[in-house]
Structure 1
Amino acid sequence: MIKSKYRWDLPSLDEEQVAALMKGLNVSRLAAGVLSARGWSSLEQTSAFLEADAWQLLDPFEMKGMKEAVGRISYAITSGERIRVYGDYDADGVSSTALMIRLLTELGANFDTYIPHRSREGYGLNLGAIDKAAEAGVNLLITVDNGISAVDQIAYAAQQGIDVVVTDHHEPPEVLPEAAALVNPKQKDCPYPFKGLCGAGVVFKLAHAMLGRPVLEYADLAAIGTIADLMPLTGENRVIARLGLEQMRRSPIVGIRALAKVSGVKPEDLTSGRIGFSLAPRLNAGGRLDHADRAVKLLAAVAEEEAELLANELDGLNVERQELVEQTVIEADSMWQSCCSAAGDRPMNVIVLAKAGWNAGIAGLVASKLVERYYQPVIILATDSETGLCKGSARSIDGFDLYAALTECTDLMEHYGGHQAAAGMTISQDKLGELSERLHILADQWLSAEHWQPKRRVDLSISLQDITLKAIEQLARLEPFGNGNPTPRIVIQDVLIRESRTMGKESKHLRITIEQAGQTIEAVGFGMGEYRDRLAPGIRVDLLGELSVNEWNGNRKAQLMFQDFRSQHLQLNDRRKERNWWPAVESLVMNQPSGLVIGCASTALLREATSRFGHAEIPISLYTDSWIDIRTVTQTAASSELRANPLSDWRHLIMLGFPANDQEVRTLKQWLAPERGGEVVTLFHEVGDARQAGDIVPAFPERKHFAEIYGMCRKRGAWLDSPEGFVQETASLTGWPLSTLRMVHEVFIELGFIAADGASRKIVAEPPRRELDDSTRYRKAREQFDGLRLAHMTTEELHLWFSACHSTSV
């Protein structure tokens, strides 16, 4: 058995609904299955989802505050008032700001822009920035991607004679600011039907309202903000993202062209994934390490030369950011390991780490890396030595509502905000210990055992026959993919690995060829090179991944990009024909030191294995009856000394000889139980083994022998079960030992063929029609017999026996 890294969340499909979508949309089962798994059932609604065109854009004036915002901004423009656009330092914030620059430039407004510094000013409106605006003669502030919570700051602006129009998408507080206009679809009484817009999306709708038409040429920046801010790519966001991507591919502005170039992406190849993983990090880099002005200037640039210069600067900052994240992750990981060592048997459920000198701007990225590594909620904080305050970010796992948890600890913090999966906070350093303890207790209360294994949502399970180029191309109709509309993820069950080879620098990646029902396909696992031995030819596995088209030298073929794997099968390597097998065992120990255990058939083999491999701290054991008698040799123990240590999970069991009695067979079955997680058994057997070579394994009666003995019982009719009676007589006539005959009689009694009353036995006149396998006693006796003849089985018989042990708990 190979355990998967993730929990596979595979929904059950309504096959009738899938068939209806296949027929109504003229698509493959693959595309129809994905749509059905995601809740699409109405042909009309599904068709609209697949089209996602400009006609589906909503009326901006349905949004509360839009009319007032248009009126106030229009008045400022016609009156020549000084306008300042107040943005934010992340990718959505700079996209929103750049989009507003386009709009106000087109409208002929007198304006400038301002973005606060992340570490010096923090998020949102602040009083110092308002003072600067007043000094500059600003009459109107327009916030983008912020402002909905700035109650005090907007009141202060009014005192300075400055009106504020808020455009935002964050959750509104109970008390709203008294602004000239509040434009946010999440306001409680806002009738706008789509609530998932990002900051740039709200500005996109404002442009529509100001210019009296859907401003499709602005969709590029709105799409970047939508994708970068991880907004759900459903509803109107899907339309905006699709329109924006089409525009960027067809006619990119100079800033996007320059940004794509330093990212190593051609504009015509831009996708939501490439924006999220290549363009957005560079737009964010300025705000994280320096100032976000560079990113705004890049997106607003009109000259190629200026755009390329700015893009290169952001690329350099992104490289610096990556190095800083990598170094901070190393430091944080070391700190966490020290915490775990100090905690002993009580490691904390939530990772809370703080250090002076860390950059708060990358705290969220570092937290995400540690969540990926340990799958625990993580809080990373930068400590200010002068103030004693720690500021940073947190990331969570499924099932642990981070915002709710921090709300339970609100008395400890100076400030916090966020949502279920991510948050930011400021807390005094002397309260970190209590925060860690409270979060640890909450995680204990809220999370069950399964929550500690990461989950992967799967759309459907398919066979290799479902995978064609046409089917994969049809999946492209579901694009753009992203949050709320992820790339389809599928599972292919029980495929045979035909070929397996590593590729790339340092053999980091893995390419396998899989087969099912005569069809084959290549599957690639990035970062999976270390699993080459576990995914070797001949192994049957289930694979989880995403489908793609591999294009090379003009050839196109379907392939699977697999992300996880599992197997219910136990691989058996029968090496009984090898005579001098100690070098082979040594090679196995050298190549797989972890997850390896060795079972020995004799004390002599145990001592030899101990002397050879004791230094490797590999569990080495006799086949003993008790589970806790598994013996482990340690480096500190002499080669002849053994100490008891329970055997837990293992990957590879090397068997040096076979069990010789019922006790030892039972122990082996315990080792092979599926909860132990075993993957491979390698068998060695010394032909000259004194304990087994001369043994004659007793035969087990076949069905005809049972029939013969039953015939003798029927002829006798009734008898007493005594040592010198009928059983002894039957033994003399048939040649079967008394123990075997008693087992046969016990089987007949259990099946209702013979009635037993004390020592009296009597044939049942009209016995029920039952098979031998219906008898528990028969099955147990058969298992005991098979266990004792393991060394004499064929490879095929051994595989069946080991697989049966591995498929049921003992």
Structure 2
Amino acid sequence: MKRKYRWEIREANETAAAELAAALGLPPLIARLLAARGFRSAEEARTFLDAGAASFHDPFAMKGMAEAAERIRKAVRDGERIRVYGDYDADGVTSTALMIRLLRRFGADFDTYIPHRSQEGYGLNIGAIDKAIEAGTRLIVTVDNGISAVEQIAYARERGLDVVVTDHHEPPAILPEAIALVNPKQEDCPYPFKGLSGAGVAFKLAHALLGEADPTLADVAAIGTIADLMPLEGENRTLVKLGLERMAKQPSPGIRALAEACGTEHAKLSSGRIAFGLAPRLNAGGRLDRADGAVQLLVTESAEEAERLASRLDALNRERQQLVDETLEEAERMWLRRVEELGGRMPETIVLAGEGWNAGIAGLVASKLVERYYRPVLVLAYDAGAETCKGSARSIDGFDLHAALTEMAELMEHFGGHQAAAGLTIRIDRVPELEKRLCALAAEWISDEDWLPKRTADMVGSVSELSLETVSQLSRLEPYGQGNPTPRFVIREAAVSETKAIGKEGKHLRLVAEERGRRIEAVGFGMGEMAAALEKGASVDLFGELAVNEWNGSTRVQFMLQDWRHAALPVYDRRTEKMWLRSLVRLAEGEERLLVLCASHAAWSEALASTELEARGAIVARYGEWERMPEPLRSTVMGESAAAASDGGVASMPDGGTGSASSKGRLSEGLALALAGLPEQPDAARSLARLLGAGHPIEAVYVYAPEGNGAPASARRPAFPDREQFGRIYSLFRRQGSWIDAPDGFLRQASEATGWPLSVVRMAQEVFEELGFLTIDRSNVKVVASPARKELEQSQRYRKAKENAELMMLGRAETAELRAWIRRMAGARR
């Protein structure tokens, strides 16, 4: 089983952890976790843990804030008409709602405007400016947009309309000439925190106008921050913490109704429930309809109206989910056809444009394609007969999407966004060129390791540490979210006690693991098919989060499994399976590269005759043949050189045998090794040992018994004398003193007396001669009276005989012994 993620495990500075624990009275595990996340001073950690309104920065430290606040105050004083110009996503909706609450408090003359996503697109547009002028507007205040609206704001100035921009997106090289630009990401802005959302910037504007950071506005600002995936650190953490407290104790009618529509209680709202419950519903209005209903929901004082609006958004969200599923299915078919046209090669980026698709869900479809294929994705939508298309892009770690689009800005009519996500408008005939250049940049910028998604664990934890008390202690680090994720742990070298596929159709995995005598239950959603790969006794590393399982009156800690890997080379003993060849074919279906080594001619012939194994590119050989494979077949199987793989078919072996050659390329990704019967002779076992120890990327070993003997019983095992038994043979020799080595002489008597075969007794005689305990002159053997003390291991004959005996025992080894031998030959640790 391949890992889902590339693991990164933080390392805590133990000195810093100890100092944090002592200064703040923290439990050791919490102090270690904070130290692992980079906290060094007690003051820094205290600010993080006790985030409150007092920790907000001075809003006037933000460039343009003083000018923005003064222009809005003037408009309020003079009774000028203000128009709040928002955006249709959850961040824009909450920003707009915050400004409505704020301007109502001042008694301002104002209204709001949110452009239609598909009809107008993102940001200020000329038509909307004309409408504002017709409505008597004197001042436009943008929220969550405007930083790129150079031409539009220039047009507004020409028409005598002032514009104050509040935004948080990446500023372009040329900035608009507005009355004020408020964006902490401006190059020369001294504001110390750059990670605010659009709603966060609006909250800071309110802070400037009110003279204080008002917690009653923190609820909508918190939702915008979480929905826009802003890092929950610095001011964002404080803002979300205050917002969650507000929603729990004094929710607005709209937030209460929206929480109920999500099937949760307002008092139990968390960053996760907002991200996966409230935010999608607030977004749904702007994706499929106008966003005004979502804004009204957040500002209404009527419980009845709130319930109606929340119900409408919930229905739109269900419609949105269905539309996403349908578009995703169509987009994936389009992508797979594209890959097929390229001969199976997957381009570095996915760029898809579909007629009739809804641009409002393009980002959601792109995100799901990123999850499935893990590469940057751009999804574009256009109407029949249109010359341009609009869409959204999502990226992966290691590829700055905004920087990439900036490199080819001349291709697009408009674009904006940040490192991980962007939106754009482009002429349809320019999409192929955009795809070509994006692929070239991705190939250049993305490193090999970045093609596997990364998950970061905070620390390695023992099962004894991961308790209910630990879960309670971890609550001090909430709220969790972007930049402050739920703590993740790695449990190393845990022994699998139980595994079971659970849930409908066995889609999920339940696992019980044991480490140092302590057990923990783990659940992996969507991992049911992995149950077969986790045999009892397997040593595994587990990656996941802690949770509490409350059921039937009992409460216990549960490990929410996100990924796992074998801690040692996995060895699957399948010698009890009667239909061994059918099992081998199923194995070949799931493995990219498979080498089958056969112990007997019968098993080799049967496996070689399997057209199914050949069709799946499996290599079939006898023990020892892998060392004599010709190039490039040997490189294809073992991954030893860069030689090109064979184009398929059957390759001849030096002894006249054959092996089917795969066209799948080298085995840098790993090799599955299947043993169709264990070696029956020492030379074959030594060949297997050399294969295991040669450093090839062997991912797993599967052992079958084609002759139908199954797993052996220990009573059938041949034996080799231990130290005490060698001592007993030597005692017989000393009592005899001397003898003639003859077929029916003293050695046979010693064999009968000890119960060991004559060959073993003769081997012992040769060992004692080599050690100087005996002398042999032709057939005359004599015990040395006072020999020098020596260990048995000093005898080469002893070492060779012991090795041969162990190798002869291999075919009858029990599962634990077999695993131990294979892992020892391959190197104990993966």
- Which category describes the TM-score, using the shorter chain as reference length? 0.7 to 0.9
- Whether the 8 Å contact between 2:146 and 2:165 is mirrored in structure 1 is yes
* Residue 825 of structure 2: aligned partner: 805
Decide which moves more: 403-412 or 77-86.
Answer: 403-412
Name the SS of the counterpart of 2:281 in structure 1: helix
1:96-175 counterparts in 2 under 5 A?
96-175=95-174
- Whether the 8 Å contact between 1:569 and 1:679 is mirrored in structure 2 is no
Name the SS of the counterpart of 1:582 in structure 2: coil
Q: 1:106 to 1:354 in 2, by over 3 A?
A: same
* Residue 679 of structure 1: aligned partner: 700
- How much has 1:737 moved relative to structure 2? 13
* Residue 504 of structure 2: aligned partner: 505
Query: Structure 2-normalised TM-score?
Result: 0.82
Choose the corresponding residue for 1:666, options 687, 692, 703. Answer: 687
* Residue 644 of structure 1: aligned partner: 660
1:26-41 counterparts in 2 under 5 A?
26-41=25-40
Amino acid at match of 2:367: S
Amino acid at match of 1:653: A
Name the SS of the counterpart of 2:369 in structure 1: helix
Name the SS of the counterpart of 1:532 in structure 2: helix
Query: Structure 1-normalised TM-score?
Result: 0.84
- Whether the 8 Å contact between 1:657 and 1:685 is mirrored in structure 2 is no
- Whether the 8 Å contact between 1:570 and 1:681 is mirrored in structure 2 is no
Name the SS of the counterpart of 1:679 in structure 2: strand
- Whether the 8 Å contact between 1:673 and 1:809 is mirrored in structure 2 is no
- How much has 1:462 moved relative to structure 2? 0.9
Whole-angstrom CA distance in 1 between matches of 2:350 and 2:460: 35
Whole-angstrom CA distance in 2 between matches of 1:283 and 1:779: 75
- How much has 1:251 moved relative to structure 2? 1.3
Decide which moves more: 433-442 or 46-55.
Answer: 433-442
- How much has 1:403 moved relative to structure 2? 2.5
Whole-angstrom CA distance in 2 between matches of 1:412 and 1:207: 38
Decide which moves more: 118-127 or 145-154.
Answer: 145-154
- Whether the 8 Å contact between 2:792 and 2:798 is mirrored in structure 1 is no
1:350-361 counterparts in 2 under 5 A?
350-361=349-360
Name the SS of the counterpart of 1:109 in structure 2: coil
1:540 corresponds to 2:536: no
Percent identity between the two aligned chains: 51
Decide which moves more: 76-85 or 420-429.
Answer: 420-429
Whole-angstrom CA distance in 2 between matches of 1:243 and 1:365: 29
Decide which moves more: 513-522 or 430-439.
Answer: 430-439
1:227-266 counterparts in 2 under 5 A?
227-266=226-265
* Residue 601 of structure 2: aligned partner: 603
- How much has 1:224 moved relative to structure 2? 0.6
Whole-angstrom CA distance in 2 between matches of 1:778 and 1:145: 80
* Residue 477 of structure 2: aligned partner: 478
Q: 1:591 to 1:772 in 2, by over 3 A?
A: closer
- Whether the 8 Å contact between 2:623 and 2:679 is mirrored in structure 1 is no
- Whether the 8 Å contact between 1:599 and 1:653 is mirrored in structure 2 is yes
Larger RCO (CA under 8 A, 6+ residues apart)? 1
* Residue 516 of structure 1: aligned partner: 515
Q: 1:651 to 1:262 in 2, by over 3 A?
A: farther
- Whether the 8 Å contact between 1:497 and 1:537 is mirrored in structure 2 is yes
* Residue 760 of structure 1: aligned partner: none
Amino acid at match of 2:822: F
- Whether the 8 Å contact between 1:118 and 1:287 is mirrored in structure 2 is yes
Whole-angstrom CA distance in 2 between matches of 1:320 and 1:192: 41
Amino acid at match of 1:35: L
- How much has 1:427 moved relative to structure 2? 2.9
- Whether the 8 Å contact between 2:588 and 2:613 is mirrored in structure 1 is no
Whole-angstrom CA distance in 2 between matches of 1:192 and 1:795: 64
* Residue 189 of structure 2: aligned partner: 190
Name the SS of the counterpart of 1:369 in structure 2: helix
Amino acid at match of 1:234: E
* Residue 377 of structure 1: aligned partner: 376
Whole-angstrom CA distance in 2 between matches of 1:42 and 1:414: 48
- Whether the 8 Å contact between 1:491 and 1:543 is mirrored in structure 2 is yes
Post-superposition Cα deviations, 1:662-696, rounded to whole Å, max 9, x if no partner, equal 3574257536877544335234264899xxxxxx9
1:218-617 counterparts in 2 under 5 A?
218-344=217-343, 346-572=345-571, 574=573, 582-583=578-579, 586=582, 593-595=589-591, 598-609=596-607, 614=612, 617=615
Whole-angstrom CA distance in 1 between matches of 2:87 and 2:799: 72
- How much has 1:92 moved relative to structure 2? 0.7
* Residue 729 of structure 1: aligned partner: none
Q: 1:331 to 1:664 in 2, by over 3 A?
A: farther
Amino acid at match of 2:661: N
Amino acid at match of 2:826: H
- Whether the 8 Å contact between 1:503 and 1:509 is mirrored in structure 2 is yes
Q: 1:130 to 1:655 in 2, by over 3 A?
A: same
Q: Which runs of 5+ in 1 are unaligned?
A: 690-695, 710-731, 749-766
- Whether the 8 Å contact between 1:469 and 1:549 is mirrored in structure 2 is yes
Name the SS of the counterpart of 2:375 in structure 1: coil
Q: 1:219 to 1:573 in 2, by over 3 A?
A: closer
Q: 1:665 to 1:322 in 2, by over 3 A?
A: farther
Whole-angstrom CA distance in 2 between matches of 1:109 and 1:348: 54
- Whether the 8 Å contact between 1:616 and 1:635 is mirrored in structure 2 is no
